[in-house]
Amino acid sequence: MNLAQIIQYCLSGITVGSIYAIVAIGFNIIYNTTGIINFAQGEFLIVGAMMAVSLTKVVPLPVAIGLAVVITTVLGGLVEVVFIRRVRDASVLRLIVITIGVSILIREAMLHIWDEKVRSLPYFTGTDVSTISVMGAHMSPQVLWVLGVSAVIVTGLTLFFRFTLIGRAMRACADDRMAARLCGINDRWMVTLSFMLSAGIGAIAGCVISPVTQTQYDMGAPLAIKGFTVAILGGLGNSIAAIAAGLILGLLEVLMMSQFQAAYKEAVSIVVLLLILVFRPSGLFARRDVSSLRAF
């Protein structure tokens, strides 16, 4: 393989990897605030993209995306209020099953609203054949959009959590919910906010990747698994590590694809997941102490 091909593959890997990282960050935000793994995380990406696709028929692209993101964000909040909040004695088993049910509902709703056709948003800039040259490698400008948007999301979240009052309130909840309540923080709304935030960034990611990977109603579950794998790889709850982990998984997938058949691409993330769980369940970037993972 020459340099151009290598760069092409790398870019491809980084592109898809940054989307996985966003999904993982979505997992982490909710996990940190509530301890729940939200199985419906992947669906938010698809819902956002599908909605944007429909909206582009009536409004210009940027507006469509903006609206879709807002609606999906609200949807995330609704999910929390309607389903999660009610559950008082939150046994892990029950919550898992509820979020699974929610992901089914969303998927089936999408099937009935948008049917099983494959759709996609138009390329943000240019067309599906326009390319940019980087050191001999050709790539679509959409790749730059993906990387750029991902970077903006990550920066935005970092600033949000570190410097805004609400962001710090959410971190307080994540650390010690009871103590946060005693400080006057409305922890119930922090939970709702975490769902909304995860849904929102999911929708953005879904929209920006749609021209490249297309969007279909059942793509949510595989995305959720890969996002989860990345989250574990980086250490559950650790969003900065999730970025690195996402890039690693993306590159690994592309590597597998280049050497073997594309059909085995899916297997990569599962194998990685199982390997990590066997050898280093706390993630690549965490300390050795895994005792917090063991309690049920």
In the complex, the residues that contact another protein under the rule CB under 8 A are: 37, 39, 83, 86-87, 92-94, 96-98, 100-102, 104-105, 107-109, 112, 221-222, 224-225, 228-229, 232, 263, 266-267, 269-270, 273-274, 277-278, 281, 291, 293-296
First to last CA, the chain: 48
Tokens, residue 126: 């240019």
- Residue 53: strand, helix, or coil: helix
Nearer to another protein, 153 or 276 (CB): 276
Whose CA is closest to 210, among 111, 108, 119?
119
- Cβ atoms of 77 and 202 closer than 8 Å: no
- Cβ atoms of 261 and 210 closer than 8 Å: no
280: number of CA atoms within 13 Å, CB side? 14
138 has which bridge partners? 133
CA distance linking residue 18 with residue 228, whole number of Å: 13
Nearer to another protein, 29 or 224 (CB): 224
- Cβ atoms of 48 and 206 closer than 8 Å: yes
Radius of gyration of the chain (CA): 19
Whose CA is closest to 27, among 276, 240, 228?
228
Nearer to another protein, 128 or 218 (CB): 218
- How far apart are CB 102 and another protein at their closest, in Å? 7
- How far apart are CB 263 and another protein at their closest, in Å? 4
- How far apart are CB 79 and another protein at their closest, in Å? 11
- How far apart are CB 273 and another protein at their closest, in Å? 6
Nearer to another protein, 163 or 296 (CB): 296
Tokens, residue 218: 């059942």
- How far apart are CB 220 and another protein at their closest, in Å? 10
- How far apart are CB 196 and another protein at their closest, in Å? 20
Tokens, residue 253: 């997938």
Q: How many CB atoms lie within 10 A of CB 192?
A: 20
3-class SS string, 248-291? HHHHHHHHHHHHCCHHHHHHHHHHHHHHHHHHCCCCCCCCCCCH
Nearer to another protein, 3 or 87 (CB): 87
Nearer to another protein, 55 or 98 (CB): 98
Nearer to another protein, 107 or 211 (CB): 107
Nearer to another protein, 134 or 221 (CB): 221
- How far apart are CB 55 and another protein at their closest, in Å? 24
Tokens, residue 157: 């979240």
- How far apart are CB 258 and another protein at their closest, in Å? 18
